[in-house]
Chains A and B, each alone.
Chain A
Amino acid sequence: MTEPITFSVKALSAGYGGHPVVSDVCFSLRKGSILSLIGPNGAGKSTILKTISGQLSALSGTVMIDGRSLSSMTGTELARKMSLLLTDRVRPEMMTCFEAAAMGRYPYTGRFGRLTEEDRRIVTSALDRVGVLSLAEKDFLEISDGQRQRVLLARALAQEPEILILDEPTSYLDIRHKIELLDILLEEARCRQLTIILSLHEIDLAEKVSDYVLCIRDSGVLCSGTPEEIFTEKRIRQLYDIQEGTYLTGPGSIELGRTGGEPEVFIVGGAGNGLPFYRALARKRIPFSAGILFENDLEYGTARALAARVHSVPAFEEIPAPVFDAALANLLHCRAVIDAGTPVRAANRRNAALLEKARAAGLPVCGGPDALEQAIHVLGCPNQKEET
């Protein structure tokens, strides 16, 4: 990226009524890049966005846009550089979607706000880019929330800004609309060199859309950097103060808390075959062990997050005897064994031995499509136990 720096914030302190909510915020952005603000509720993401967009005056520090300070710009000058998508509920009466999007031309139109042919072309193009041109003549109040969000995004684009600021644009949207919205943003950033700053709650999406990430926590910037630097288990755990549950770096997803206690089921898995069993047992709050897995296995992260105990070996290594013995000892203390159906090859052939030993010890080894039902049947439903 060799684009010039278009937006920079130095030692910014922001808040309401003289009381800072966040302080010492610093970052700078190159033209056409996307910055995400992530962090827990109430950390001050919105306050930062309001301040760098001029909606709220800064308590101290400077915001520079193209080398000019934000505070020295008039409303119209700023509006031609920057537009916003807010979380505000917008409910104008009797206004078509086209008219709502056309409001974006405000800083360019004359005394009475009449649209020229050029203005209409720009608004039409903005509606087209966000995919709501077909709604242009519809009443703004008669479309769905997701569509309204898009019309408001078209409004922001029609303002022809260099910088677009979005406050939690994906909240309240369903998954498809989230994906589509972020795709539109990526397209605008890459193809039109729009600089985008947004706050997001969905860390998995933040990882996929951002060039830079700013983590806001405890009234300040906890850390900042590229998504590769930020989205690590440790950072995310620290940022959101996660006690239960796990953030998996690979898929960028989260797992719920682990069930504690002595494992009751041993799952012999691998190659992703164990995943449905881990999730099902975690949902039922039944503690389980998983083994023996290679540490590059698809399901290894989830097993680490959910299983009471995981028996694993480094990738591509044959299973050594000590690991096998530990797994076997653990297995013999369980009440049921699940064979997830992972094919046994040279490297993991000791998993087959594990299953054999279980059968020899008289433990129920459940396999096939109804393995889970079998295992749960063996364990017995705790509710039924109480009744008898």
Chain B
Amino acid sequence: MSGGTAAFSARRPAPSCSDMEFLGREEGQSRIGGIRPSYQHDHHSRNDGHVPFSAAIPRQRLRRKVRCSMKKIRIPLMFALLTSALLVLLALSLGIGSVPISPGEILRILTGSAADAKASSIILKIRMPRVFGAAILGGALGLSGFLLQTFFRNPVAGPYVLGISSGARLLVCITMIFLLRLFSAAPFICLMAAAFAGSLLVTGLVLLFARRIRSMSTLLVVGIMVGSICTSATDFLITFADEADVVNLHSWSLGSFSAINFASLTPAVLIIIPAAIGAFLLSKPVGAYQLGENYARSMGVNIRTFRLLLITLSSLLSASVTALAGPVSFVGVAVPHIARLLFGTSRPLVIIPASFLFGSVFCLLCDLIARTAFAPSELAISSVTAVFGAPIVIGLMIGRQRRREND
């Protein structure tokens, strides 16, 4: 606070105050005199309405004006930049691969006027679902991370951290072992359903505990513990299962966008898009919730309903992703933080779409790297997202701590 005890001579436009005597206030002396620095200039000039731009405008106000306009264009600018990045990455991901296909050729294939049937089939059947899948699932992960971080009020909350992926893995493992016994091959759709059910099961359990636990960080620990139990149960099953039954589990656990096809992507999109719209509609209470549960309630937010909606939407989003691509680490944790830094705000109205968009870009980039860095062998998506995501999370934590120490 500025040390300006300078007399605040221009009194506030005081409302008619009948109890002057009682207040013991003397003319020209402000009750809260000492605490105001020199802002009264701007305050008054603001009241004047149209002040011509001249040297008479105090520099501080000018600076604020510049910062304000910077802030105003920053958000649309970032959205434009991220959208262009998304389009460029989409084009690159479609074109790059063991069979390079030029952008012109891709356009011709998409418009249906292409001659090369092989290239056309690569684009439409293999690369398109994968690339669109990576974009949509990445967005879902980013958004799910944002919602979970809001819910748990904890910066490291994310679908992967919370044991949601472990729950999915457990049910996938069970499905693989027991369905394989019955049918000799577990259909992909069954694995998807199992992963989806597993994710929801863990969030359901966490929710059950949430009714008894008030502290969000304790609840987060409970989530991690539930995840650990799922992991150990999975390991137990693997130990006693036939090698052949669980061989696919390993590749599923690594996470990959490669198995996505349009048939499996469609139901996921049908869940993700409404959930994302639902999250966007929640931006107003999410903003209030940033001040804490009690303040949010005092402003008229129905906390019980709001929290239920929040956790349901985020688990639907992350369950869809885990079902299609397996566990993908760090996207959910890192994306919301980076989105906040890029956009310079935490207003949910901005950050909810931004998390989705940046999640798409992040996952597309990571998938492109996973496919091409050591081609023809392919990296697990989590290895790439972790390499980028983990250092970012560490950096953010150090930054937070520094800010806390400054407190």
- Please, could you name 21 A-B residue pairs with CB atoms under 8 Å apart, sorted by A? A54-B297, A79-B299, A84-B294, A93-B290, A93-B340, A94-B340, A94-B345, A94-B346, A103-B287, A106-B284, A107-B299, A113-B283, A128-B12, A131-B36, A132-B35, A134-B39, A141-B407, A180-B31, A187-B17, A190-B22, A191-B14
B56 interfacial contact with A, CB 8 Å: no
B302 interfacial contact with A, CB 8 Å: yes
A183 interfacial contact with B, CB 8 Å: yes
1/0 per residue A72-91: CB within 8 Å of B? 00111111001110101110
Residues of chain A within 8 A (CB-CB) of B391 are none
Given contacts A128-B43, A144-B1, A176-B34, contact A86 B301 (CB under 8 A): no
- Report whether B295 and A141 are in contact in the complex, using a CB–CB cutoff of 8 Å: no
B180 interfacial contact with A, CB 8 Å: no
- Report whether A187 and B292 are in contact in the complex, using a CB–CB cutoff of 8 Å: no
Residues of chain B within 8 A (CB-CB) of A134 are 2, 36-39
What separation, in Å, do the CA atoms of A99 and B68 have in the docked complex? 13
- Report whether A131 and B68 are in contact in the complex, using a CB–CB cutoff of 8 Å: no
What separation, in Å, do the CA atoms of A89 and B404 have in the docked complex? 13
Find residues 272-303 in chain B having any chain A CB closer than 8 Å to their own CB.
Answer: 281, 283-284, 287-288, 290-292, 294-295, 297-302
A95 interfacial contact with B, CB 8 Å: yes
Instruction: Report, as a range, how many residues of chain B touch the other chain.
Output: 35 or more
A123 interfacial contact with B, CB 8 Å: no
Known: A75-B302, A128-B12. 5 other contacts (CB 8 A): A90-B291, A112-B283, A112-B349, A155-B291, A192-B15
Residues of chain B within 8 A (CB-CB) of A354 are none
Find residues 4-21 in chain B having any chain A CB closer than 8 Å to their own CB.
Answer: 12, 14-19
A59 interfacial contact with B, CB 8 Å: no
Residues of chain A within 8 A (CB-CB) of B406 are 142
B67 interfacial contact with A, CB 8 Å: yes
What separation, in Å, do the CA atoms of A304 and B347 have in the docked complex? 60
**A137 nearest in chain B by CB position:** B64
What separation, in Å, do the CA atoms of A184 and B31 have in the docked complex? 8
- Report whether A92 and B346 are in contact in the complex, using a CB–CB cutoff of 8 Å: yes
- Report whether A187 and B301 are in contact in the complex, using a CB–CB cutoff of 8 Å: no
Given contacts A55-B298, A106-B300, contact A93 B346 (CB under 8 A): yes
- Report whether B344 and A94 are in contact in the complex, using a CB–CB cutoff of 8 Å: yes
B32 interfacial contact with A, CB 8 Å: yes
- Report whether A99 and B347 are in contact in the complex, using a CB–CB cutoff of 8 Å: yes
CB distance from A134 to the nearest CB of B (A): 4
- Report whether B31 and A133 are in contact in the complex, using a CB–CB cutoff of 8 Å: no
**B302 nearest in chain A by CB position:** A75
Instruction: Report, as a range, how many residues of chain A touch the other chain.
Output: 35 or more
B403 interfacial contact with A, CB 8 Å: yes
- Report whether A75 and B281 are in contact in the complex, using a CB–CB cutoff of 8 Å: no
Q: Which of B15, B39, B294 contacts A133 (CB 8 A)?
A: B39
- Report whether A79 and B300 are in contact in the complex, using a CB–CB cutoff of 8 Å: yes
- Report whether A92 and B1 are in contact in the complex, using a CB–CB cutoff of 8 Å: no
B51 interfacial contact with A, CB 8 Å: no
Q: Which of A95, A132, A184 contacts B290 (CB 8 A)?
A: A95
CB distance from B111 to the nearest CB of A (A): 38
Residues of chain B within 8 A (CB-CB) of A144 are 1
A129 interfacial contact with B, CB 8 Å: yes
B182 interfacial contact with A, CB 8 Å: no
CB distance from B61 to the nearest CB of A (A): 11
CB distance from A138 to the nearest CB of B (A): 11
**A87 nearest in chain B by CB position:** B294
Given contacts A78-B300, A112-B349, contact A190 B34 (CB under 8 A): no
Pick the 8 closest A-B CB pairs, nearest first: A75-B300, A134-B39, A113-B284, A79-B300, A106-B299, A76-B300, A94-B346, A92-B290
What separation, in Å, do the CA atoms of A55 and B294 have in the docked complex? 7
Q: Which of A100, A103, A132 contacts B299 (CB 8 A)?
A: A103
Given contacts A95-B346, A134-B36, contact A183 B31 (CB under 8 A): yes
- Report whether B349 and A113 are in contact in the complex, using a CB–CB cutoff of 8 Å: yes
- Report whether A159 and B345 are in contact in the complex, using a CB–CB cutoff of 8 Å: no
**A147 nearest in chain B by CB position:** B1
What separation, in Å, do the CA atoms of A238 and B38 have in the docked complex? 48
CB distance from B5 to the nearest CB of A (A): 10
Residues of chain A within 8 A (CB-CB) of B295 are 84, 86, 88, 90, 103, 155
Given contacts A184-B32, A190-B23, contact A79 B283 (CB under 8 A): no
CB distance from A124 to the nearest CB of B (A): 8
**A83 nearest in chain B by CB position:** B298
What separation, in Å, do the CA atoms of A145 and B2 have in the docked complex? 14
Residues of chain B within 8 A (CB-CB) of A100 are 291
Q: Which of B301, B340, B344, B407 contacts A75 (CB 8 A)?
A: B301
**B64 nearest in chain A by CB position:** A137
A186 interfacial contact with B, CB 8 Å: yes
- Report whether A146 and B291 are in contact in the complex, using a CB–CB cutoff of 8 Å: no
**A95 nearest in chain B by CB position:** B346
Residues of chain A within 8 A (CB-CB) of B34 are 176, 180
Residues of chain A within 8 A (CB-CB) of B294 are 55, 84, 86, 88
CB distance from B357 to the nearest CB of A (A): 17
What separation, in Å, do the CA atoms of A75 and B304 have in the docked complex? 12
- Report whether A74 and B39 are in contact in the complex, using a CB–CB cutoff of 8 Å: no
- Report whether A137 and B347 are in contact in the complex, using a CB–CB cutoff of 8 Å: no
A104 interfacial contact with B, CB 8 Å: yes
Residues of chain A within 8 A (CB-CB) of B345 are 94-95, 99
Find residues 187-208 in chain A having any chain B CB closer than 8 Å to their own CB.
Answer: 187, 190-192
Given contacts A104-B299, A113-B349, A137-B68, contact A146 B1 (CB under 8 A): yes
Find residues 333-360 in chain B having any chain A CB closer than 8 Å to their own CB.
Answer: 340-341, 344-347, 349
